[in-house]
Chain A
Amino acid sequence: MLEEKSAKIKKIEKDKTLSILLLRGPYVSEYAEIASTLALTARKKGYKVNMFLYLDGTWLQHIKEFKNFSNPGDWLKRAMRKGVTVRACQRCSSARDLTPDDTIKGIEQSGLYSFVDMLAESDRVLTFIG
């Protein structure tokens, strides 16, 4: 039974990687929501998905508490539960006084070199800027 389930999961995994760079904060535009929704949808379709939160994009990790309305933080958490890797720029977070206690658990604080690693393995990169 377990082998069957494992084989099924393997079958839907696709050998392509999508990386998403988010530079805009939530609510100022719909970019954070669009980026998170795309990440979740791509992951559900079996692609490997990375997200890197940069500059004001780091504010997205701050929406950590439950809300009884649709919100980009919830989309991000759902994406992470499905296996999307999310990293945030440590310097950008620090500059905004975003501490680990303020942010969604499971997001690695790292530098731009870590984003370069993401790029190196990506088939497609989406940049949400402007």
Chain B
Amino acid sequence: MSMMGAPQPEGCSTFGPIPESSGIRAWCMFNNLTGAIFIKGVCIAVPISCTTKQGGIMTDPGKFDSLGIVIAHTAAVHEGAQQAVSLGLEAMRRGKRVGFFLLSDGVFNAIQGSGDVATGLNQVISDGGKVFLSSEHVLAAGIPTEKLITGTETLEKAYEALVDLIMEDWDRVIIC
């Protein structure tokens, strides 16, 4: 089924009509959680669990050049961090500019040799992507600078930097 020209994503349990006057093309619910949201044919919000199920948000009709991924959890808490890195690497393979921003417990993923996520982030940097860290959270986590993945950029005033990236640099942003 399609709604006002937007394709129904795989795994969509509800594909509800939205008044055309709102400018929203479709509203998709995945497992009764908020899912992909399309405005004027552009997918503007996709939770990570849906993006991986879809094989990447590049399957959505929206066009974008850059993708920002904010990670606030360790891989040990849930799979979001690992999925986010896989998604980021896939986006880079498809020619997108990708940046990661690690804050809160997410900074633990930036410890060199700490696991698959760290390996993936190393790959992101090697392939030309950016990995930013919140200085405040690195300090709070007690991570010595020399243990961080080479090439990560630790930022003071992290929230200000993050807002600049979200509003002025990245076309799409995923939080996980």
Docked Cα-Cα span, A109 to B61, in Å, equals: 33
- Per-residue CB proximity of A112-125 to B under 8 Å, as 1/0? 01001101101111
Residues of B within 8 A of A31 (CB): 72, 175
User: Using an 8 Å CB-CB cutoff, how does the interface string of B77-106 with A read, 1 for contact, 0 for none?
Assistant: 010100000000000000000000001110
Known: A120-B24, A127-B175, A128-B175. A45 touches B163 (CB 8 A): yes
In the complex, A38 Cα to B175 Cα: how many Å?
12
Q: Is the CB of B34 within 8 A of A41?
A: no
What chain A residues lie within 8 Å of B73 (beta carbons)? 29
Most buried by A among B44, B105, B160: B44
| Interface pair B159/A38, CB less than 8 Å apart | yes
Q: Is the CB of B159 within 8 A of A124?
A: no
Which residues on the B side are within 8 Å of A126 (C-beta)? 45, 166, 173, 175
| Cα(A41)–Cα(B170), bound, Å | 17
Q: Which residues of B contact A29 (CB under 8 A)?
A: 72-73
Please, which residues of chain A bring their CB within 8 A of the CB of B166? Answer: 18, 38, 42, 124, 126
Cα(A54)–Cα(B35), bound, Å: 13
Q: Provide the bound-state CA to CA distance between A41 and B165, in Å.
A: 13
On chain A, the residues within 8 Å of B27 by CB distance are 116
What are 5 residue pairs bridging A and B, where the CB atoms are less than 8 Å apart in the complex?
A21-B34, A21-B45, A116-B22, A116-B24, A122-B39
At the interface, yes or no: B41 with Cβ under 8 Å from chain A? no
Given contacts A16-B167, A116-B22, A117-B22, is CB(A129)–CB(B72) below 8 Å? no
Q: Which residues of A contact B (CB under 8 A)?
A: 14, 16, 18, 21, 23, 29-31, 34, 37-38, 41-42, 45, 47, 54, 113, 116-117, 119-120, 122-130
B67 at interface by CB-CB < 8 Å: no
Main secondary structure of the interface of B (DSSP, over half): mixed
Number of cross-chain contacts by CB at 8 Å: 88
Chain A at the B interface: SS class: mixed
Whether a CB of chain A sits under 8 angstroms from the CB of B56 is no
Tell whether B162 is near chain A: CB-to-CB under 8 Å. Answer: yes
Using Cβ atoms and an 8 Å threshold, which residues of chain B touch A54? 34
Instruction: Please state if B49 and A41 are interface contacts (CB–CB under 8 Å).
Output: no
Interface string of B14-45 (1 = CB under 8 A from A): 00001100111001000001100101000011
Q: A16-B167, A120-B22, A130-B176 are in contact. Are A30 and B104 (CB under 8 A)?
A: yes
B49 → A minimal CB distance (Å): 6
- Chain B residues with Cβ below 8 Å from A45 are 160, 163-164, 167
Please report the C-alpha to C-alpha distance between residue A10 and residue B166 in the assembled complex, in whole angstroms. Answer: 22
